[in-house]
Amino acid sequence: NIVMTQSPKSMSISVGDRVTMNCKASQNVGNNIAWYQQKPGQSPKLLIYYASNRYTGVPDRFTGGGYGTDFTLTINSVQAEDAAFYYCQRIYNSWTFGGGTKLELK
Amino acid sequence: QVQMKETGPGLVQTTQTLSVTCTVSGFSLTSYGVHWVRQAPGKGLEWMGIIWGDGSTNYNSALKSRLSISRDTSKSQVFLTMNSLQTDDTAVYYCAEGTMVHWGQGVMVTVSS
């Protein structure tokens, strides 16, 4: 079974900073990765699909990258509303989630 | 527009069977799959399984022996059934449309002895 490992588990960032979080797959998954944002008490929201495609309406400060086993989600010029948990997910065959990264604002 | 809503029992006893219903609108269950995802309190997301438009299913291998996903296309409903519940099955249970763009609001299920 594929394991998705996210790092760091949490990060504290100032508004306006750039932040990159990581997701590592235990096997080659090609570009079959999605990223979600989840705020407390809310359902997850799709941000990125197929590793680098921004879903409709997602601000362009969110950028996904990577292929194979190593993936990144970068947020340029973090805004206050970006404070949330972020999850990567392998899509197709088994839709395994990573453990998540908590983004806090200083 | 696509809408999804989960309904469930709220509280279930250990060793019993959980049944949660996802009622959808805005798309056909014969055209799109529906996933089930759960989230224990303070924990991350766990994918449970999917029922595809053709009615076939895929399950998380860790839950496969206890889990069943079925549907009633005439009622636009998808059902999650999981037996032999334990306290660590306490979670919010979500259904999501096949692309995972659309999610329900989730239903909290507490398993208690």
What's the pLDDT tens digit per position in A68-100?
999 999 999 999 999 999 999 999 878 999 999
Residue type, A52: S
Q: What is the DSSP letter of B88?
A: G
B30 to chain A, minimum CA–CA distance in Å?
18
Closest residue by Cα to residue B23 from B101, B99, B110, B95: B95
Tell me whether residues B58 and A94 touch, CB distance under 8 A. yes
Residues constituting chain B: 113
Q: What is the mean pLDDT of residues B61-76?
A: 97
Give phi and psi for B74, each to the nearest 5: -65, -25
A94 contacts B61? CB cut-off 8 A: yes
A44 at interface of B, judged by CB pairs closer than 8 A: yes
Residue type, B80: L
Beta-strand relationship, A10-13 and A101-105: parallel
Q: Give pLDDT, residue A35.
A: 98
E strand map for B1-113: 3-7, 11-13, 18-25, 34-39, 45-51, 57-59, 67-72, 77-82, 91-97, 107-112
Q: What is the pLDDT of residue A92?
A: 82
Model confidence pLDDT, tens digit, residues A38-55: 999 999 999 999 999 999
Q: Would the pLDDT of B15 be above 90?
A: yes
pLDDT at A84: 98
CB pair distance less than 8 Å for A44 and B101: no
- Residue range B54-71: mean pLDDT, rounded: 97
Cβ–Cβ contact A41 with B under 8 A = no
Q: What is the pLDDT of residue A21?
A: 98
Inform me whether the C-beta atom of residue B52 falls under 8 Å from chain A C-beta atoms: no
The reply to whether residue B50 touches residue A95, judged by beta carbons under 8 angstroms, is: yes
pLDDT tens per residue, range B18-60: 999 999 999 999 999 999 999 999 999 999 999 999 999 999 9
